[in-house]
Structure 1
Amino acid sequence: MTSSNTQPAPVSPYLVLGSAIVLPASGHVILGVPVRGLQFLFFMVILAWVTAKIAPPDASFIGRHAGGFLIYALSILDAYKLARIRHAQWVHTATQGSDNSQSGITPHT
């Protein structure tokens, strides 16, 4: 008697990447970790404000808010990394399940 524990496929890492680029923290929301996304948004706003206060008046918009853009870039990378890890784990468990069923090996439960 074998039990097949098939989990649904995780969200596509490219969908998470695209949504994180378009709207900050949305990639984390899609992944189911909205608190992490809110933390990134909080630090994005705080560091953008701090660098706006420190930057010289003749700096460009991006230069004045460089801290916020840094956190924005890190949040995109973080959301994509989490999505890629979840997808790789799903592929690994799906592959392990098919290998065990073909070889006649049943996992211990």
Structure 2
Amino acid sequence: MSDETATPAPANPYLVLGAAIVLPASGHVMLGVPARGLQFLFFMVILGWITAKLAPADASFIGRHAGGFLIYAFSILDAYRIARIRHAIWVHKARPDGDSAKGNAPSNM
């Protein structure tokens, strides 16, 4: 017999991390929050364009687009953080002997 309250396993956090590194916003799409990924993409483009206009001409490619790369790094960390939190919650709820399920608060007897 299966447990009716069991939730499906969330995406593997390392798979989400790899996807977010390879293709921006794909980690968020895997997590089911594509709007958040699009917001990160929007700010990557905007800040990359702004730093390209403000950077000196002799700066490297990464230096000229540093704002975009900064947001890219934040989006990778954000997707991984969301995946880790969802996975930890899923593992905690799947544990049959979880302390929170028993209500082991100290009693004042």
TM-score (norm 1): 0.86
Match of 1:61 in 2: 61
Match of 1:11 in 2: 11
RMSD over aligned Cα atoms:
1.3
Stretches of structure 2 that go unaligned for 5 or more consecutive residues are 103-109
Q: How many residues align?
A: 97
Distance (Å, rounded) in 2 between the aligned partners of 1:79 and 1:61: 25
TM-score (norm 2): 0.86
Q: Cα distance, 1:99 vs. partner?
A: 1.6
More helix by share: 1
Please list, as runs of the form range in 1=range in 2, the aligned pairs for 1:7-86 lying within 5 A after superposition: 7-86=7-86
Q: Cα distance, 1:4 vs. partner?
A: 4.3
Distance (Å, rounded) in 1 between the aligned partners of 2:16 and 2:65: 25
Stretches of structure 1 that go unaligned for 5 or more consecutive residues are none
Distance (Å, rounded) in 2 between the aligned partners of 1:99 and 1:45: 47
Which SS does the other structure have where 1:99 is aligned?
coil
Letter in 2 for 1:86: R
Distance (Å, rounded) in 1 between the aligned partners of 2:70 and 2:97: 43
Distance (Å, rounded) in 2 between the aligned partners of 1:38 and 1:4: 34
Match of 2:90 in 1: 90
Distance (Å, rounded) in 1 between the aligned partners of 2:44 and 2:94: 37
Q: Percent identity at matched positions?
A: 76
Structure 1 residue runs of 4+, over 2 Å off? none
